[in-house]
Amino acid sequence: MKIDYRRQLEKAARQMILIHRASTLIKLILRTILRNIKVTHAGLLIYDKRRDEYVARISRGHSGLRIPPGFVKVKRNNPLIRYFTDEKLKFPKESILWEKTTSLLKSVKVKKAPELKKFLEEVKYTLSLYQAKACIPGFFRDDLIGILFLGEKKNKKRFLEEELGFLAVLASDVVMALKNAWLIEDLNQQVEINKRLFLQTVAALASSIEAKDKYTRGHTDRVVKHSLAIAYNLKKHRKVKNWDVFVENLKVAALLHDIGKIGIPEEILNKNAPLSEEERKVIETHSSIGANILNHIEEFHDALLGVKHHHERYDGSGYPSKLKGNQIPLIASIIALADAFDAMIMDRPYRKGFPPQEAIKEIERNRGRQFAPVVVDAFLESQKKIIDLAI
């Protein structure tokens, strides 16, 4: 059955566009080669700019002919690399074929050039190490990005011109796809680095709050822990859009829910007695102050809702906006309960903290009044797991 190589190339190109992971892309290419060329094995040497060498990332074929990923590492002065990159060597750069290399070694011209003969012998020896009958280069501009190497054809015949043409175009497509995949991987890596720096900054801000309010040492970490526990139990019963993003914003909001206390006088924060009505009104401004602080930072846009509204109450009697029921963002409802629970069980100079079971009962009593019912249910489920583990 005759293979339509043009159709196979178009199919491979369409698939490559959709793949943004280099390792997955390479597997696809090697499967395409094995399916169409019917060789015993195929592999790919790829340039690693960090090591300045070529590495066999993946190779596929019979079990006895597989090369473990990363096992083969090739320096720039390797004969295969020099064959394609050394401008002084006037060989055809489209491919290296075992048969042609053997023929060249027998030619009169090569026999009279000892250095050239030695080089070709090194090329042939290197091919034999990889059990390769053909090597096809992949260039990006003038840079050699990779080399496809192929084992013997299963029918023992030579590679046809149309097969070599197919491989040459495929190698070119692979290089472009790999460059795109690497670019996306680099961008994703940078995003992860920025995310870590961002969260470290958030943690530093959270620490600055606790340094000012001596009664809330450890409070922030506990609110984060309770909030995440509620969220994970809530996920079982309620579909949340963009779950990973929601959890990330919840963590940031829980860490920064009291950031506005930076703007509250320390004599009020650290007062050893119950607050007066006037002092309570000052304290109640901290959620709005926190929202104003974060409002100018784009990365905090979604987390800001949790910071601003974590003192709203389900019955509409909270602050700062008197939101009611489902008007309250879910992220704020979760933090509101986590914050209240931790505040109940914390000791203060003017009162002893509630025992956890008493605080849990108080939250149950305020289901549908202070706290969103769905959040209370998720909280109770998370607490039951803790109790069960303790037993």
- Which tens digits make up the pLDDT trace of 17-39? 566 666 777 777 778 777 778 88
More confident residue, 127 or 70: 127
* Domain co-membership, 179 together with 302: no
Domain CATH for 341: 1.10.3210.10
Q: Which of 184, 206, 225 is the last residue of a domain?
A: 184
Identify whether 248 is part of a domain: yes
Q: According to the model, what pLDDT value does residue 64 have?
A: 47
Please state, rounded to an integer, the average pLDDT across all residues of the chain: 82
Structural domain including 61 reads 5-184
Quick check: 387 pLDDT over 60? no
* Domain co-membership, 22 together with 86: yes
Identify whether 190 is part of a domain: no
Identify whether 268 is part of a domain: yes
Identify whether 54 is part of a domain: yes
Average pLDDT estimate for 40-58: 83
Whether 321 and 288 have beta carbons less than 8 Å apart is answered as: no
Domain CATH for 92: 3.30.450.40
Q: Which of 132, 151, 184 is the last residue of a domain?
A: 184
Average pLDDT estimate for 265-284: 86
- Residue 106: how many CB atoms within 10 A of its CB? 8
Cis status of the peptide bond prior to 274, with omega within 30 of 0: no
Q: Which of 108-117, 138-147, 291-300 has the highest mean pLDDT?
A: 138-147
| pLDDT per position as a tens digit, 309-343 | 999 999 999 999 999 999 999 999 999 999 999 99
* Domain co-membership, 157 together with 289: no
> 236-259: b or e for each residue (b if 16 or more CB lie within 10 Å)?
eeeeeeeeeebbbbbbbbbbbbbb
Q: According to the model, what pLDDT value does residue 372 have?
A: 96
| pLDDT per position as a tens digit, 353-380 | 899 999 999 999 999 999 999 999 999 9
* Domain co-membership, 115 together with 12: yes
| Structure token pair of residue 244 | 């990973």
Number of domains in the chain: 2
- Residue 24: how many CB atoms within 10 A of its CB? 14
Question: What type of residue sits at position 292?
Answer: N
More confident residue, 6 or 243: 243
Q: Which of 184, 211, 229 is the last residue of a domain?
A: 184
